Amino acid sequence: TEQGIPPKVLEIAEGIKTMRIRGAGKIARAAAEALKIAALEYGGVKEVAPFKRYMGKVADLLIATRPTAVSLPNAVMYVLSSLHRANPGTFEDAVNTVVLTAEKFIEESINAVKVISETAARRIRENSIILTHCHSSVAVSAITEAYKLGRVVKVYSTETRPFYQGRITAKQLLENGVPVVQIPDSAVRYVMHEVDHVVIGADTVASNGAVVNKIGTSQVALAAKEARVRVYVVAETYKFSPTTLIGEPVPIEFRDPTEVVPDSWLQKHPRIKVLNPSFDVTPPEYIDAIITEIGVIPPQAAILVLMERLGWALDKIKQGGL
């Protein structure tokens, strides 16, 4: 099924799968870029129908790379639905539609991160200590923005076992001049009494306001709730999941045991089972606000964001397919 798909597109798909390209926003933008490349490098019959079929194949390949972040299928659907809506008369129009919509998605995505960061920064109090989990490019950007306003004195960054995305967070914050302290995930409750705000990203926001993010996020939120610390989720609207409106659960990715323990240890102890869930669900009651590019909402208002921003996807669901 990979026949006829350009190597650069396969490379992006592989990059997402192996987590060379990771984080929900980056994954979405990479997928849009892959669709653009696929359109420009299409080598089949230059007619609309076969081109559409080919783009459908590329879409399936991209969507199959990782299951949890809804930003991926949302980005792909955004580009492909424009191709169907535009109803292009010529092959050239069809290619153009894909290229322009992909570029629009990437541009709007980058802009959303900027708007969210500015909004989030204004919500951070003076002299704040912030805790973040995993590596969210939106959270790093928001914390950096708050730091520039002189509001951040320290950031606790969890190491985020087993993949250690927290090391990327610590490195980037430091590069941005933000004082950062790396802690093991198990130290979250120990430091929570010092923390003023928890700022985290999202892979998927469900219609009831539940936030799916890196494994451990719900423990962080639980510790924050106990200590009366505010939890802010920073997430672009394309991280809201339209299919959760019809009660579809968000699929949780399970990754290889060798991310948790070395293969040699597994060999030595073949009867020990290892579970490696990559994401968990934080219920809306544990989240104080979700900060999006169209405003700050209580998690319970997630459904309104879905109606406003993903109406086109809802229409598709009603027609019986997404």
Contact 286, 221 (CB under 8 A): yes
Q: Single out the catalytic residue among 203, 256, 280, 288.
A: 203
Cis peptide before 298 (omega within 30 of 0): no
Contact 165, 135 (CB under 8 A): yes
Q: Look up 203 and say whether it is catalytic.
A: yes
Count of residues that bind ligand RUB according to CB under 6 A: 17
Q: Single out the catalytic residue among 60, 93, 134, 263.
A: 134
Closer of 97 and 169 to ligand RUB (Cβ): 169
Burial of 79 (C-beta count, 10 Å sphere; 0-12/13-18/19+): buried
Closer of 59 and 134 to ligand RUB (Cβ): 134
Task: Please state, in angstroms and rounded to a whole number, the distance separating the CA atoms of residues 10 and 32.
Answer: 13
Closest approach, Cβ 219 to ligand RUB, in A, equals 14
Closest approach, Cβ 136 to ligand RUB, in A, equals 3
* Those residues with Cβ within 8 angstroms of residue 273's Cβ, 6 or more apart along the chain or in another chain: none
278 is a contact residue toward ligand RUB (CB under 6 A): yes
24 is a contact residue toward ligand RUB (CB under 6 A): yes
Q: Radius of gyration over alpha carbons of the chain, in Å?
A: 20
Q: Look up 196 and say whether it is catalytic.
A: no
**Position among 82, 158, 165, 172 found at the interface with ligand RUB (CB under 6 A):** 165
Q: Where are the alpha helices (DSSP H) in the chain?
A: 7-17, 24-40, 48-63, 71-86, 91-123, 137-148, 165-175, 188-192, 217-226, 263-268, 302-309, 311-318
Contact 81, 311 (CB under 8 A): no
Q: Which helix (H) or strand (E) holds 156?
A: strand 152-158
**Position among 33, 159, 196, 203 found at the interface with ligand RUB (CB under 6 A):** 203
Q: Which stretch binds ligand RUB (CB under 6 A): 131-139, 256-264, 267-275, 305-313?
A: 131-139
**Position among 123, 214, 225, 309 found at the interface with ligand RUB (CB under 6 A):** 214
User: What does the per-residue mask of binding to ligand RUB show for 62-81, with x meaning CB under 6 A?
Assistant: -------x------------
Q: Which residues are catalytic?
A: 134, 203
| Site residues for ligand RUB per CB under 6 A | 22-26, 69, 134, 136-138, 165, 201-203, 213-214, 278
